[in-house]
Amino acid sequence: MRTPKRLYAQQRLIYQPELLTCPHCGDLLVLCNSLAWNKTVQTLDRVLSVASRPGRCPNETCAGARLRLLSAAAQRLALPGSVSKVEMAIFTPPVQRHSD
Residue 75 confidence class, pLDDT cut points 50, 70, 90: confident
State which amino acid sits at residue 48: L
What does the domain layout of the chain look like in residue ranges?
A: 15-81
How do residues 26-69 score in pLDDT, each as one tens digit? 999 999 999 998 888 887 788 888 899 999 999 999 988 899 99
Whole-model pTM?
Answer: 0.70
Number of Cβ within 10 Å of residue 41's Cβ equals 23
